Chains A and B, each alone.
Chain A
Amino acid sequence: MAETAIRKREGEVSRVEHTRDRWTYCPNVDILEKDDELLVLADVPGVKAEDLDVEYENGLLTIHGKVEPRQDEEKTRFLRCEYGVGDFYRTFRIGEGIDHSRIHAELKNGVMELHLPKTDQVKPRKITVKVQ
């Protein structure tokens, strides 16, 4: 069962402090390496495409998804409250060899798919072994 891993990681909060006085959560991510790109998948439920900020600068990848409260937290009569709603924030140091200009992201059903294409230099090249 995968139950634990889809949960929000409440225990891990980013070290960087924000000016907005809001809860911040650390999204669960998968980082996959393919031949031609790194693929980052991040669970950011409730984030709309226009509220998702992805920046890549000096090898530092920052994901910031803004989430407005979906209910009025003061007035709502909660009967069960198992998770909190707030922004998602996480940063990664990504190694060399990413082609900045071709980075692109998609958002689907609350999951961000971030494509970090490799530069040609670091792509694996198949070397043909010649028979002598």
Chain B
Amino acid sequence: MLFNRSDWMAPFDELRREVDRLFEGFGRRWDGGLFEPAFPAVNVWEDDENLYAEAEVPGVKREDLEVYTVGDELTIKGRREPCSDEKVSYHRRERGTGEFTRIVTLPAEVKADEVEATYRDGVLTVRMPKAESARPKRITVKAS
């Protein structure tokens, strides 16, 4: 996340980017290049009953998206087709294409058969009910 900053901050931005770039690959699986950030970026949050994961995958068709959960692992697979028109010249090409796979380890096991995924406006949201063993249980404190 970044703010709109004034110009005098620019060198610091540059430094921050360099540092980010250096540490981006840390703690990740060795499934990509060392400093290649994993795609798609994933946000995960929870409430008492569910874990939720969200990823931005613009331009991917719904039928080209695959979501799997096994135990405490969530896998998101997909592909984005390149422009099929051959008779074009590119002035800019910043949007990548091709296949991607992302595996995220969740903090708890989930009930794989009750997972729901929705895809809207290029945003994938996955709701994963936590396995019974992972739900918080209130323990009554007895008076002795």
A residues apposed to B, CB below 8 Å: 1-11, 13-14, 17-18, 23-24, 28-35, 38-39, 41, 43-48, 70-71, 76-84, 86, 107, 109-111
Contact = CB atoms under 8 A, between A and B. Distances in A.
B41 A28 contact: no
Give chain B's interface secondary structure class: loop
B91 interface: yes
Given A1-B99, A46-B121, 18 more contacts: A2-B96, A2-B100, A5-B96, A8-B56, A11-B2, A13-B5, A24-B4, A29-B92, A30-B93, A30-B94, A43-B58, A43-B59, A80-B44, A83-B43, A86-B1, A109-B121, A110-B122, A111-B59
Contact of B123 (A11, A23, A107, A110): A110
A13 B99 CA distance: 27
Nearest to A78: B45
A43 B41 CA distance: 14
Interface string B16-44: 01000000000000001100111111111
5 contacts: A3-B38, A6-B80, A6-B96, A29-B95, A107-B121
A45 B89 contact: no
B95 A43 contact: yes
A46 B90 contact: no
Contacts of A14: 4
B45 A71 contact: yes
Interface of B: 1-5, 13, 17, 32-33, 36-47, 51, 54, 56-62, 80, 83, 85, 87-100, 104, 107, 119, 121-123
Nearest to B104: A80
Contacts of B43: 78, 80-83
Nearest to B60: A109
Contact of A110 (B36, B38, B44, B58): B58
A17 B85 CA distance: 37
A11 to B, nearest CB: 5
B136 to A, nearest CB: 12
Contacts of B51: 79
Q: Specify which of B36, B59, B90, B119 lies most central, judged by the most chain A CB atoms within 10 Å of its CB.
A: B59
B122 A111 contact: yes
Contact of B39 (A3, A11, A86): A3
A120 B39 CA distance: 42
A13 B59 contact: no
